[in-house]
Amino acid sequence: MRLLGIETSCDETGIAILEKRKGKFRVLANKVSSQIEIHRPYGGVYPSLAKREHLKNLPLVLRKVLNTKYQILNAPDAIAVTVGPGLDPCLWAGIEFAKNLAKQWNVPLIPVNHVEGHLLISLFSQGDEKSEIRPARRSGGNPKSETLFPAIALLVSGGHTQLVLVKQIGQYKILGETRDDAAGECFDKTARILGLSYPGGPAIAAVAAKIRSTRFAKASARRAKSEIRIRLPRPMIHAKDYDFSFSGLKTAVLYDWKSRPEKLRKSKAYIRAMAKEIQQAVIDVLVVKTMRAAQEHGAESIILGGGVAANKELRKQFNSQCAIRNFELRVAPKELCTDNGLMIALAGYFHKPQKRIEAAPDLRLE
């Protein structure tokens, strides 16, 4: 069986073909056209502009997908398309395109929740191998159990920050979510304050990584940080619930930035020290709350999904915390953490086709 997945919920136009044969998945094609350069001057995604770009890019990306080394000539068995959550005009661009294709090929349409796509692509991935999509079974660690469930999924992107209890594929309970800004949004907004480019997450990570890890560099970074003295809050880290709040972190960055002389706040030392502290503050909150949720719910594994899960430092720190606590960590390769059509095709395998397909910008995972 072959599924074509279409993703247009935000600023990436993604189309992929995923084949399932004898219980195994094989990626036949996966192409993404990013609009980052177009939205960069605005410091965020501009919905009507994004829709126009999706309409332009969808046929181009499809052509590339059909023209891979597999020369896919036959129609797929079904088309999976993101119906939400996301930006309404962007969702409709993908849905209308999918409907036309479905009519042309005479195949059914499967509506997919974007967040479930992020969750499943990480659940089915192991390590950083791009072409491998494996069964949802434990690979090692705890010999008593082969299962990955219950799992705790942390889904962090530009639009959502959620902790989800995964009892089985398709059985989800949202334990907590952000009350204001998403983790990725926090990176995007604080990067803007520091004069870094959009999207902020990779920009902050790149600047923070410039504080190299030699002993000398570490000492000079510590000196710069202590001279500049930046200590940001870790919002809601000790709260009893599993909710998040990142807007206070953004405000703290803004206050600190405003309190500095112009020469200092434009200096590399300040921007690096601040980028590192922002990244660590976000990571601390995400790690502590996820580990607590996993322990309290007797989780076998932790799933990290969404664009922010591409963050190298976040992956490293989750890796070591999971190793200490004997949770198996599932996280997709970096390039599959950000939006793509493959995660939508994969999620499509777990749902039935529907006749009525409509955009649902506020769709929830439950």
Beta bridge partners of 82: 112
Dist CA 54 CA 92 (whole Å):
10
Interaction partner, residue 200 (Zn ion, ligand KG4, none; CB < 5-8 Å by kind): ligand KG4
| Contact code string over 263-302 relative to ligand KG4, x by CB under 6 A | ----------------------------------------
User: Considering only 15-23, 33-41, 73-81, 337-345, which stretch makes contact with Zn ion by CB under 5 A?
Assistant: 337-345
Residue 339 within binding range of ligand KG4, rule CB under 6 A = yes
Our CB check for ligand KG4 shows the closer of 160 and 289 to be 160
Q: Answer yes or no whether residue 328 interacts with ligand KG4 by CB under 6 A.
A: no
How far apart CA 122 and CA 156 sit, in angstroms, is: 12
Measured from the CB atom, the residue of 118 and 289 that comes closer to ligand KG4 is 118
The owner of tokens 């890796």 is 319
CB of 115 to Zn ion, least distance (A): 7
DSSP structure string for 195-257: TPPSSHHHHHHHHHHTS--SHHHHHHHHHHHHHHT-----TTTT-SSS-B--HHHHHHHHHHH
C-alpha distances (whole Å) from 337 to each of 113, 180, 276 are 15, 22, 21
User: If binding is defined by CB under 6 A, does position 199 make contact with ligand KG4?
Assistant: yes
Size of the site for Zn ion (CB under 5 A): 2
Mark 146-185 with x for binding to Zn ion (rule: CB under 5 A) and - for no binding: -----------x----------------------------
Residue 306 touches ligand KG4, criterion: CB under 6 A? yes
CB 183 within 8 A of CB 236: no
Judge contact between 193 and 186, C-beta under 8 A: no
Sign, CA torsion 176/179/184/190: negative
Q: Which of 84, 89, 184, 235 binds ligand KG4 (CB under 6 A)?
A: 184
Q: What are 350's strand-pairing partners?
A: none
Q: Which of residues 113, 162, 290, 338 is near ligand KG4 by CB under 6 A?
A: 338
Pairing state of beta strands 161-168 and 171-177? antiparallel
Token representation of residue 220: 């000079």
Stretch that binds ligand KG4, among 155-163, 167-175, 223-231, 284-292 (CB under 6 A): 155-163
Euclidean distance between the first and final Cα of the chain, in Å?
27
Name which position in 65, 339, 343, 346 contacts Zn ion (CB under 5 A).
339
Asked if 30 interacts with Zn ion (CB under 5 A), we say no
The item of ligand KG4, Zn ion, none sharing an interface with residue 187, based on CB under 5 to 8 Å by kind, is ligand KG4
Query: Does 10 help bind ligand KG4 (rule: CB under 6 A)?
Result: yes
Q: Look at the alpha carbons of 8, 12, 13, 17 in this order and tell me if their dihedral is positive or negative.
A: negative
Chain residues in the site for Zn ion (CB under 5 A) = 157, 339
Q: Catalog residues that contact ligand KG4 under the rule CB under 6 A.
A: 10, 157-159, 184-185, 187-188, 199-202, 205, 306-308, 310-311, 338-339
